[in-house]
Structure 1
Amino acid sequence: MDAPALRARDLRAHPLRRLVPFAALCCALALLGGCSGSGSSREKDGPTTAQAAVPMAVDDLQDGYLKVIKDVLPSVVQIQARNDLGSGVVYDGQGHIVTNAHVVGDERTFRVTTANSEDELTARLVSSYPDQDLAVVKLERVPDGLKAATFGDSSKVEVGQIVLAMGSPLGLSSSVTQGIVSATGRTVTEGGGNGGTGATIVNMVQTSAAINPGNSGGALVNLDGKVIGIPTLAATDPGLGDSAAPGIGFAIPVSTVKSIADQIVEDGRVTDSGRAALGITGRTVVNDDYRAAGVAVVEVQAGGAADKAGLEPGDIITRLGDEDITTITSLAEALAADKPGERTTVTFTRGGGEKKVDVTLGEQ
């Protein structure tokens, strides 16, 4: 079975879309007592201690949900560009808001609605960094009571943790869905068309919480009320006509969010990407059977890692370190696992013969 295709456009909503209200069925927990049919006096008198503890545990969990929502939802905003709508998270008390680069697109001004007000505020782009699909905008006027979110620690995110996704799916502001952390450490590549940035992002958090168009740039929150990720991608299944794959969403990890947002807030741009690069422009090539067979070097950046290692236009890269390279996407994913300054081996073909060369990776 083919792996799900991942596309950023699946998380954006058109601002003019209208929803038809419908009745939603909510799951309720049925608390069942003993059903042995023995008719003993103990069963007739009331629930046992163990049975009585069940609704107390449910009440505690519900109280935890309500507290998290009350604490965090005021920090999640709706962002509307000219043609697209997404979400954002208040980053600090100065009015900086972090969101996805594919939410802001090529726009520079935006209309922002906070959770506790229906008044639209104006925000302007500080900087966008499509390589990690993150951006920061800043409110022109900071309203009274604006609350910055609390950001967590990526190293403490574990599979099975209960999480809440907050944002504006389909324009329904201040919406909350619930799920768990399904996996960590995912490397995911966005589609490059239909609004996606084509970014390859490492260490993403996979979640079962419902992620729908308009959730992009919102908050994935743990039960401590801390943001652990920015929902960015939903999976689609090519085998089902690219329809959504329910329960498979991805969020940019909070460590990446803080690193990129801090640089943008402090310097107005990203000055240290932490991302390895070969310093080439390439394209996928196919073999005689029309199967992807490597990445052809189209252009070599002067002074870059590939240039220093002796790679030339026309070379076809087939391996990076221990990773087979068949497409430009597989090359990006292999590089995403490395760091600038690391040494690796590039295997390539030139003039029909296979060659290898050691490369010290540069920075993107």
Structure 2
Amino acid sequence: MESPANTPPSLLDRIRSRRLTTTFTILATLSAGILIGSIMTSNVSGHQVDSSDAKPLVIPSPVELSNGFSKIVKEVSPAVVNINTEELPKQGVNRRGRHAQQNPDDDDNSDDSQQQPDNNMQDFFNHFFGGQGGDDGADNSERRALGSGFIVDPRGYIITNNHVIDKADKIYVKLSTDPDNDPGDNGRPATVVGVDRDTDIAVIKIDTKQPLPTIKLGNSEGAQVGDWVLAIGSPFALSKTVTAGIISAKNRTIDEPGPDGVSQSQFQHFIQTDAAINPGNSGGPLVDMAGQVVGMNTAIYTQSMGSQGVGFAMPSNTIAQVYNMLISPEHKVVRGSIGITFQQGLNSAVNRVYDFASGVIVSTVTPNGGAAKAGIQPGDVIVSIDGRNIKDGDDLVNDISNRKVGSTVKLGYLRNGKQGTAAVVIQDRNKTYAELTGDQDDNTPETPQPPDAGKSLLGITVASIPSGVTAKTGQKNGVIITSVRPGSFADEIGLPKGFIITEINKKAVTDQASYRAIVSSLKSKDDVVFVVQSPLEKNTNSYIGGTLP
């Protein structure tokens, strides 16, 4: 009987057989390697090396490096303080804050109202940064914020940014000698001496029984682009932090027009630096190599909420002028005004058509202001002050604002190509600006206002149309948007601050009462369409809408 023939192994069987052979070979090789390595290691560690000829390392005595940074820090850092604030829950209070520019170191306060009209830098600076370790929640929650400051008087007078302490119910100061690691110790209570929102400068004071270390102010006019500077403060709650850089530029402005077209930051001309400035640095000093303050760290330009090498500091010369007025018996800054607005950034074509080489074209004249009483009209070109030719709007503002209220100035102007002069009485800028915008004095205490029906739902606050805007636009009915909260519904759909709301969902807005009635009827998922007008143009409607979240 024939036996069956042997069947040749299949392809799969051959692959499996080879895999097993390969696997065993690899394991055997690894085992041999491990064994050999263990033996060699045992042989190496088994020998004792005679190290009697080795010399111990010696830590050298401290030496001062040539850059001198450490010497400056030792001199000035005792006068740099940490400031933390508390804002208690409030109901039905319409509060105002610091204006925010392109992410100013102004986010030292977490309150959304920091982004509101009068110096909403603030921001910048938006405003610059979020609150340090604070509660950023709803309106009925407590908020905390951190910033920096520096002592300029041994009796306890401290300079900081207004946006650091703005809207705070409690302000605490920690000195450089106070412990950092005690969470229950907020520091020494401080009181506000005075604030100037136009420059974002504030003066606070703490009580002290012993003279405190101080820091000297230098002359910012002498600071040059390329000079070394040190920024000192408490970024991210890390007190006594020092960063170094240079002065990158001077006389930087970050313009944010107000509802009437008037710049809200025309008194803010910054020193730019690449020294790292981060959330919490606001109010801290920018120090030169002589150990003197040449600026106060105020804002940053950032797309990451952190330093990107573009920081801004208020010059020390401006700080000194404002400080001296804030510690005066009136505790307020008074600036001169002639009661006009003008357009910045005119080009050569405008100059040629209006036939002037330098000066400013008057846009509006405040009723009952000094210029109006002297006969100045919109369209006039102001070319000189007391016989001195002016270069531009900044030159005009700087000259007029430094003059005493009640004094008289001689303006030279052009009207239809003809020269003229006018004797203008200087008035208080706060009063003329308030009349133009329908706003109250920026530096006076605020009184509680009824709740704004659109604040929580839409994210805006509104007011009656100022007389100056009405005179310019002819628009009497409606309400003007005084603030837009960042991240709100209004912000998302692009509703602009300073514009006039005349309709909501085809319903006429005639005043604040009609506005509140319409808004109170809105609810989540409703489509909302606003008809708005620019305060700078007549009879030009824009339609802006979206769906409520």
Native 8 Å contact 1:187 1:333 kept in 2? no
Native 8 Å contact 1:200 1:332 kept in 2? no
1:243 CA drift (Å): 6.9
Native 8 Å contact 1:277 1:335 kept in 2? no
User: Which digits, 9 at most, give the CA deviation of each residue in 1:209-248, with x for residues without a partner?
Assistant: 1121221111000111111111112225xxxx69778222
Match of residue 129 from structure 1: 196
1:307 aligns with 2:372: yes
SS in 1 for 2:267: strand
Aligned mate of 1:69, from 66, 69, 73: 73
Match of residue 107 from structure 1: 168
1:72 CA drift (Å): 0.9
Aligned mate of 1:146, from 209, 212, 220: 212
User: Which digits, 9 at most, give the CA deviation of each residue in 1:52-104, with x for residues without a partner?
Assistant: xxxxx99211xx11111111111111112224321111110111111111222
Q: Could you tell me which amino acid in structure 2 is paired with residue 215 of structure 1?
A: N
Identity %: 33
Native 8 Å contact 1:320 1:334 kept in 2? no
d(CA) in 1 for partners of 2:258 and 2:202?
17
Match of residue 529 from structure 2: none
Aligned mate of 1:255, from 308, 311, 317: 317
The correspondence of residues 1-364 of structure 1 with structure 2, limited to 5 A, is 59-61=65-67, 64-82=68-86, 83=143, 84-107=145-168, 109-118=170-179, 119=185, 120-139=187-206, 141-142=207-208, 144=210, 146-189=212-255, 198-236=264-302, 246-270=308-332, 272-273=334-335, 276-280=336-340, 297=364, 300=366, 302=368, 304-311=369-376, 315=378, 321=383, 333=394, 335-339=396-400, 340=403, 343-344=410-411, 360=424, 362=426, 364=429
Native 8 Å contact 2:77 2:176 kept in 1? yes
Native 8 Å contact 1:167 1:173 kept in 2? yes
Native 8 Å contact 2:196 2:333 kept in 1? no
Structure 2 CA distance for partners of 1:92 and 1:58, relative to 1, 3 Å: closer
RMSD, matched Cα? 3.7
User: Which digits, 9 at most, give the CA deviation of each residue in 1:22-75, with x for residues without a partner?
Assistant: xxxxxxxxxxxxxxxxxxxxxxxxxxxxxxxxxxx99211xx111111111111
Match of residue 536 from structure 2: none
Q: Could you tell me which amino acid in structure 2 is paired with residue 107 of structure 1?
A: A
SS in 2 for 1:229: strand
d(CA) in 2 for partners of 1:356 and 1:230?
43
Q: Give ranges in structure 1 of 5+ residues lacking alignment.
A: 1-56, 285-293, 323-330
Native 8 Å contact 1:109 1:125 kept in 2? no
Native 8 Å contact 2:199 2:268 kept in 1? no
Structure 2 CA distance for partners of 1:361 and 1:109, relative to 1, 3 Å: farther
SS in 1 for 2:325: helix
d(CA) in 1 for partners of 2:220 and 2:419?
37
Deviating beyond 4 angstroms after TM superposition, the runs of 4 or more aligned structure 1 residues are: 190-193, 241-245, 280-284, 317-322, 331-335, 341-348, 353-361
Native 8 Å contact 1:134 1:257 kept in 2? yes
d(CA) in 1 for partners of 2:216 and 2:75?
10
TM-score, with length taken from structure 2: 0.43
User: Which digits, 9 at most, give the CA deviation of each residue in 1:176-212, with x for residues without a partner?
Assistant: 111011122334446879xxx9432355322111121
SS in 1 for 2:327: helix
SS in 2 for 1:247: coil
SS in 1 for 2:198: helix
Q: Who wins on radius of gyration, i.e. which is larger?
A: 2
User: Which digits, 9 at most, give the CA deviation of each residue in 1:274-312, with x for residues without a partner?
Assistant: xx533257999xxxxxxxxx9863x7253x332223357
d(CA) in 2 for partners of 1:272 and 1:282?
21
Q: Could you tell me which amino acid in structure 2 is paired with residue 79 of structure 1?
A: I
Q: Could you tell me which amino acid in structure 1 is paired with residue 286 of structure 2?
A: L
Match of residue 4 from structure 1: none
Report the number of matched residues: 270
Higher mean alpha-carbon deviation, 170-179 vs 143-152, is at 143-152
d(CA) in 1 for partners of 2:178 and 2:305?
34
Whose RCO is larger (CA < 8 A, sep 6+)? 1
d(CA) in 1 for partners of 2:307 and 2:362?
30
TM-score, with length taken from structure 1: 0.62
